[in-house]
Amino acid sequence: MFFDLIQVKKLQQQLQEEISVHLALASAVEQSDSSLSNSPCQLPDKGQELLDSIAILEITVSKLEQESVALQYQLSQERNECRLAEYHLTHLPYPASSPFDCSQFNFTEMSMHGESGREGGG
């Protein structure tokens, strides 16, 4: 009987620890923060490593999303530059000898070197 009482106490303590870990993990997921220093429960090393990895991955995903937006904006700008160049070529005072192929034109270089080579005001 005494042995059963000790086992029950151990199991209750283990259950309480598991509940604390569960609550700490649930709190970390809700806050999207791997820093659990304010938590009264100490997570196992493996759990803390996983949370740290998740936080790093979240930062990486956020940076990649920002980079994607920047690249989409850059692509939009280059398309607009291409359309503008095509427009100017079709409205020049002298006829173009061949259709303008925007895919072979590098607008980044044109922007860096200026547009001094263009004749006419538009």
Q: What is the pLDDT of residues 18-74, one digit of tens each?
A: 888 888 777 777 765 545 445 555 677 887 888 888 889 999 999 999 999 999 999
CB 111 within 8 A of CB 84: no
94 domain residue, yes or no: yes
> How many separate domains does the chain show?
1
28 domain residue, yes or no: yes
Does the model's pTM come out above 0.85? no
pLDDT-derived band at 15 (thresholds 50, 70, 90) equals very high
Contacts of 40 (CB under 8 A, 6+ apart): 20
Terminal-to-terminal C-alpha distance of the chain? 99
122 domain residue, yes or no: no
pLDDT tens string 71-109: 999 999 999 999 999 998 888 776 545 555 555 555 555
pLDDT-derived band at 5 (thresholds 50, 70, 90) equals confident
81 domain residue, yes or no: yes
86 domain residue, yes or no: yes
More confident residue, 108 or 122: 108
118 domain residue, yes or no: no
7 domain residue, yes or no: no
Domain span holding position 56: 23-113
CA separation for the pair 103, 118 (Å, rounded):
19
pLDDT score at 4: 84
pLDDT score at 81: 95
Q: With a cut of 60, say whether residue 3 has pLDDT above it.
A: yes
16 domain residue, yes or no: no
CB 39 within 8 A of CB 26: no
